[in-house]
Amino acid sequence: MPKIPDCNHCLLSAHDPHIVCAVHPEGIEDDSCLDFREDPNAPVEELWHPQGASYYNGELILQPRQRWTPQQQLQLLVVHQSYFDRLLCR
């Protein structure tokens, strides 16, 4: 039986190409293993993303370009004081 993806991060994994693990040397038949134990020393998969993008549910999403810079946004709030006053009065 082949390994499942969780085998690489399992504490019981043999890390041997001929044996899957100590409990199931030949592998398992299901998509998940009831004996799975997370290995605290396993390397963490890093989800690198470029600036202006983020991962949501494993999918890389690019952030839309902002119309105004933060400094321009602040200037708009200062210029339009009535709008800013209405926010504070609520």
Residue 58 C-beta-side C-alpha neighbours within 13 Å: 1
Under a CB-based contact definition with an 8 Å cutoff, are residues 34 and 42 in contact? Answer: no
Tokens 């994994």 label which residue? 13
Q: Where are the domains of the chain?
A: 1-40
The one-digit pLDDT tens for each residue of the chain (90 residues) are 577 888 877 888 877 777 888 888 888 888 888 888 888 887 776 667 778 788 888 788 888 877 888 888 888 877 777 666 776 666
Q: Which residue has the tokens 């926010």?
A: 87
* Predicted TM-score (pTM) of this structure: 0.41
What was the pLDDT predicted at 1?
56
C-alpha of 23 from chain center? 30
